[in-house]
Amino acid sequence: MDELDTEIIRLLQTDARRSNRELARLLGIAPSTCLERVRALTRRGVIRGYHAEIDHAALNRSVQAMVSVQVRPLSRAVIDSFKESVSALPQVLSVFVLAGGDDFLLHVAVQDLDHLHGFLLDRLSQRREIAGFRTSVIFQQVRNPVLSRLPDPA
């Protein structure tokens, strides 16, 4: 990764719909050079895809929460099975597998607090492998979608 690669990533994170021609113009390089750099970043797995940012409130899913989950027995089979099943639930936006006191962190989005309560009672509390869970409602979210500077290599 050099400065040009870093700048390509920054610009694509800001607006991934930019054309190659526009990206090259902003970077001050030839479109062929820009295209080859983007392709190389993709081949190396630095760029993994392009995504649309969704307004959950516009989809009537304005209540979001983080749910910390502990599962038992703590085994690879239980972790893999739980991860696979909860990631398929329409309310679940993200599943994080953790080390420490909690085993999972689920980011969920639902219509309202009644639907959150229903999700917790009907989807989580009924599962035998769950030893406990805690829920934190999200009031606001601030994201930094742009990797502004790469860390210096050690």
pLDDT tens-digit map of 93-108: 999 999 999 999 999 9
pTM above 0.85, yes or no: no
The pLDDT value recorded for residue 144 is 78
Summarize pLDDT for 8-17 with one digit per residue, the tens.
999 999 899 9
pLDDT grade, residue 58 (50/70/90)?
very high
Domain 57-138 - what CATH class? alpha beta
In the predicted model, what is the mean pLDDT of the chain? 92
Q: Per-domain residue ranges for the chain? A: 3-43, 57-138
**Euclidean distance between CA atoms 20 and 74, whole angstroms:** 48
Give the CATH architecture of domain 3-43.
Orthogonal Bundle (1.10)
